[in-house]
Amino acid sequence: MDFLTLFLVYLCFVLLVTALLCLCSGRKESFLARSVTRASQVLSLVIPTQLQRVAHRVAHGALHRLFHTRSCLFVVLHIALQAAVFGEYTWEVFGYCWELQFHLLLLLLPYLLLAGNMGCFLLCSRANPGIITKSNHASLVKVYAYDGVMFQRGTVCPTCTLEKPARSKHCSVCGTCVHRFDHHCVWLNNCVGASNAAWFLLYLLSLTATAAALAAITLSFLSHVVQLSNLLHSTYLDAQGQEHPVEIPFLVQHLFLTFPRIVFMLGFVILLTLVLGGYSAFSLYLAFTNQTTNEWCKSRRFGASHHVSSQPPDRQVVYKNIYSKGIWRNLKEIFRPPTALEKKKK
């Protein structure tokens, strides 16, 4: 049971780090920054004032560089994690499975998914997400209608000094306004907008499929090992010399002691599959309903109470998504973004 406790702590730690990275990315005042501020307030009772100022400056400077400036750090981390997982898969799991006569196509499936995922990653990270410039501003203003609640005509971006087209937003990380802005992804070091939303969706789905394939093959390998060794029908002696039938905790501990790197990799890819699977489901929901992450987050606030200046102050305005045209047309818009010319023809 000591091993299981350690393994659960490991899984919780990975999940916590992943959740913190998701919460912190692309926000002006991140959850992590607020946590650091609260912690510094508590520590201020015992730490000298001069040391507090230095620590505060260093911590906030590091957080700002990590999450609010363009940096390749998360791209390198992303590639390093994939290299570590596939290195372990190639070094041990592939060889063991080949000896157990697994089908070759099944063993090559993760590599095929990885190739597709890396292709989508490069296309999404290197693509222009839909940056609004003076040359294309006039045409982009005509693509989407203003809903009068979330997007209002005449709103000017104070940084770009251009009227914001409907569904656009200024990205403080990239320093530009992006057409049909979804979010800024630190893992891609790029914004997700109208021009690369399709590649991002494919990248996310292929990454989820890759993690799921690795987890399934590794689980299948370990189950074969258990069946061949007949462990489930065996017994073991405890510290007092008493005989007990093999149960799941003992079995997991035995597999970890026999294949420690494989079991750790399996725990990581299972957790990754769950996290990415939830995010993929959410992204598909947004695609089916023709919403962006930015619009979905804003609509949560508008659902409570929001007043438009042209209406009486005592009247609540409920946000309604006017951009949804049905699942098929919504998906088509993701993969073939509309232009002002197409809208005029319709």
Q: How far apart are CA 198 and CA 126, in angstroms?
A: 13
pLDDT in the model for residue 26: 44
For the stretch 139-173, pLDDT in tens is: 999 999 998 888 999 999 999 999 999 999 999 88
For the stretch 66-119, pLDDT in tens is: 556 677 888 998 999 999 999 999 999 999 999 999 999 999 999 999 999 999
Q: Encoding tokens for residue 122?
A: 């490069």
239 vs 338: which has the higher pLDDT: 338
State which H helix or E strand residue 10 sits in: helix 2-24
Q: Which residues are catalytic?
A: 185
CB-based contact 144:323 (threshold 8 Å): yes
pLDDT in the model for residue 34: 53
3-state secondary structure of 307: coil
27: amino acid identity, one letter: R
For the stretch 188-215, pLDDT in tens is: 999 999 999 999 999 999 999 999 999 9
Tokens 């060794």 belong to 229
